[in-house]
Amino acid sequence: MERAPLPTPSLEGSPITFPSHFPPTPPLQDFDEYQKSGLTLPTNGFERSAPLYPLPPSSRPNKVLPEDLKTPDHHVERDPRLIRLTGVHPFNVEAPLTDLFDEGFLTTKDLHYVRNHGAVPFVDDSSVLDWEFTIEGMVAHPTTLTLRELIQTYDQVTYPVTLVCAGNRRKEQNVVRKTKGFSWGAAGLSTALWTGVALPDLLARAAPLRGARYVCLEGADPLPNGHYGTSIRLGWATDPARGIMIAHRMNGEPLHPDHGKPVRVVIPGQIGGRSVKWLKRIIVTANPSDNWYHIYDNRVLPTMISPEASADLPDTWKDERYAIYDLNTNSAVCYPAHDERVTVGAETGDKSYKLKGYAYAGGGKRVTRLEVTLDQGRTWMLASISYPEDLYRLAPEGEMLYGGRLDMAWRDTCFCWCFWELDVPLSRLGDASDVMIRAMDDSMMVQPRDMYWSVLGMMNNPWYRVVIHKEGNTLRFEHPTQPALIPGGWMERVKKEGGSLTNGFWGEKRAGEDAEPAGEDPAAKEISMVDEKVTRQITVEELRQHSGDDEPWFVVNGHVYDGTKFLEGHPGGAASIINAAGQDVSEEFLAIHSENAKAMMPTYHIGTLPPSTDLSEELPSSEEQESSSSTPFLHPKTWRRALLASKTDVSPDTKIFHFSMPSPTQPVGLPVGQHLLIRLRDPATREAIIRAYTPLSEGHETGTLRVLVKIYRDAPDGSVKGGKMTQALDSLPVGHAVEFKGPVGKFEYLGGGGRCSIGGKTRTVRRFVMVCGGSGVTPIYAVLRAVARGKGEGEEEKTECLVLDGNREEGDILLREELEALGQESRGRCRVVHTLSRPGEGWNGLRGRMDKGFFEREVGGPPADRDAMVLICGPEGMENATREAFLEMGWDEEDLLFF
């Protein structure tokens, strides 16, 4: 994807000037020198027995994890403790809450949360210091800077900053009603010491022009809708008190790849989505960013807008009033931990339990109080708060830390989280049903009692509630939720028991309350895919025993299903279930299947896997997949990557996408008549987008995979939504990785005398009637090509084909020349007929829709010996009309096959 053109600056205005100073820094020649340059700790002329302020804990040695070997992030070392929130890739993770809290004020790179929209850019150590980014747009002095120049030309500063994802605690919203975002727990935040250059210093040298109001920021990560980008106000960017920096060190070390190596933006007090990683462009503009991710991510839309309605409200998404910048005030309980147990009774006497947790505010504000209630808000207790950030303000003038001046003494803004604690007698905890907390900041804004639900599930900050269960002489504590798909939490339990989480009493039944309160949004109900009576725990070993053709079991959302009974009836053929055997196919199932299919699932539900079971290690790594250039590219159980090499326009709304496979001698490996699955991710929600396509490439072709795609775009006025997959592919930049799996499908053309396999059963077809429209021509073309060219083994090819291709206008006909060439190549065995419903004046072919009358004229009734078959692929309306017409003409349902 080409980058957007730069805004043309108006040179009529005079530059705005800012004070700055640029002390010299020793020159850096290579990465090793750079890596060592920030490791000296301050002593200020004397040795300290202990630091005045916290220093980061030691990092752990990590390695590339097996699950990442199969992704574009195969170069990134990571900590296995991190909880993956969006499957294996892209990497969106948080630490276990207690592990994060136990690390203390500063978080290591190992447990720091990560929000990645796509693949992590690879930057070799040898080129780190030569990494370039620009300052451009409405500035008097546009410039390009390398990291080396950033370090050697500008004053370096260091200070602690807490970064928080706007989705922190989103899982709670998703339990109430599914948002468009994935399920963060309460650990979507982390704190580190960042070293870099204050953004006001850079902007002072660039000199923004009058009329400039925003600073747009863009990263290097290629995504389906361009590079990630956003914007902040120029007044904030030039305010030294706000502490915005261009950082190149984290806790004294060069940035880790997941955290922006080699250069990123760090914006204290604002949501993490504004702190762009892998920085490439700083653009000063008059208006907010028009980047796709600035508009369709990090917003709090009005609560009455549903996920369905939001798809048709482009002006609402673009309304800057709904954009999120400063964080809101929030807090959480870390101890007691979820499922922690404490013994109570006479022997505990007057012992107490120390409740502990964190709190933070946004926009430089300070959390000024943290209150705890044991009686659901009737009375409150004041917790004590510690502010480790303040210790850095005590450092001597000119203190240097990790190569940067410890720039904290003069600041009265608050950049970091704080910790609270409260000793509570065990006897009081034993008498309570729950613990709830709320924080207040120095503007007297307090956390709300109830949730504000919104379509993206962001900025969730109601009182944090921990339920207390009394089990004999033990208290068991239950947090609201657990992150990702990890089961547990009182919110899920209440919902399963039929309680309403929006009744104002945390789902507790109140006197006179109906089981389902009137007025509850029916859209909030989710289709249950489990049989509540099934309680069986299934081990990984049991699942492995059912990973073959016989009694295939598969996993969706942690639940195990037996697909044996549906092998014959599955529309995609038995192979679709067999290929899923022994695997977690949650993403594919949820992305492809209809609500009706989901409603059928309880019938096949047989048990549940243990929590946190990881099945990814059962699959071959990408290195194993690609070890042989003669091995077919497609694999029925494993997603494999190919890179987008180019796009060729076929018509105004149709393109051929060319993908380079790992090896130029590697065959595609797709049987005739079958198709493959393509997987991308929604750039806003990171949910999988999976669709089936039949490529133009033949199964034996090597090196390149060609796929014809008709692009269904959104209507300009937003009245009609286009295709998710086709628009994502259309906006995909060249060089981006795309994932493929296959083959799938119940039909395969075996060749030689019309032999076919349909759902595993072989039959011979002497005549094919092929009905198609639009891009539905691609599977038809694949079979026609094999029949016309006599592909396959066995007797001489004598099978006949009649292709009926219906479109609206002549320009809508796809593969027209290729189809007609095959007709000639078949020496009369194959005939192609086009008909148009809206023909132009110069059209000499058939006119009108493909209805019963059309089929009666062109096809006629079924042959007496049932050696003919109808293959159908096109828009849903055309397929339904074709089916109805052929059944009325006396054709048997078994002779109609829909691709």
- The residues annotated as belonging to the active site are 165, 297-298
Residue reference for tokens 């006909």? 813
454-464 in b/e form (b: 16+ CB < 10 A) is: bbbbbbbbbbb
End-to-end Cα spacing for the chain: 32
Q: Which residues pair with 751 in a beta bridge?
A: 755, 792
Neighbours of 419 (CB within 10 A): 19
Q: Which residues pair with 342 in a beta bridge?
A: 475
Q: Among residues 605, 588, 450, 595, which one has the least CA distance to residue 525?
A: 595
Q: Which residues pair with 737 in a beta bridge?
A: 643
- Return the beta strands (E) in 782-853 as ranges: 800-807, 830-836, 846-847
Q: Are 317 and 244 in contact (CB under 8 A)?
A: no
Longest dimension (CA), the chain: 102
Q: Up-side HSE of residue 717: CA atoms within 13 Å toward CB? A: 1
Contacts of 806 (CB under 8 A, 6+ apart): 771, 772, 773, 834, 835, 836, 837, 849, 850, 874, 878
- Return the beta strands (E) in 472-525 as ranges: 474-478
User: Is 564 buried (19+), middle (13-18) or exposed (0-12) by CB count in 10 A?
Assistant: middle
Q: Are 720 and 652 in contact (CB under 8 A)?
A: no
* CA distance linking residue 735 with residue 657, whole number of Å: 12
DSSP helix/strand/coil, 770: strand
Q: Are 136 and 6 in contact (CB under 8 A)?
A: yes
For the record, the structure tokens of 856 come out as: 């009666």
Q: Which residues pair with 371 in a beta bridge?
A: 382, 438
Chain Cα centroid distance, residue 490: 26
In this structure, the chain runs to a length of 899
Residue 486 to residues 125, 481, 520, 531: CA-CA distances in angstroms? Answer: 37, 9, 26, 19
Q: Are 677 and 715 in contact (CB under 8 A)?
A: no
Q: Are 681 and 688 in contact (CB under 8 A)?
A: yes
**Radius of gyration of the chain from Cα atoms?**
31
* CA distance linking residue 32 with residue 455, whole number of Å: 47
Backbone angles phi, psi at 71, to 5 degrees: -125, 170
Residue 260 to residues 156, 255, 749: CA-CA distances in angstroms? Answer: 18, 6, 49
418 is in an annotated binding site: no
Q: Which residues pair with 253 in a beta bridge?
A: 250
Residue 620 to residues 70, 145, 626, 638: CA-CA distances in angstroms? Answer: 8, 42, 10, 8
Residue 563 to residues 577, 579, 604: CA-CA distances in angstroms? Answer: 6, 11, 7
Q: Which residues pair with 659 in a beta bridge?
A: 644, 705
Q: Among residues 413, 388, 389, which one has the least CA distance to residue 270?
A: 413
Q: Which pairing describes strands 279-285 and 132-137: parallel, antiparallel, or unpaired?
A: parallel
**Residue 737 is inside which H or E element, if any?**
strand 737-744
- Residue list, annotated binding site for Mo-molybdopterin: 165
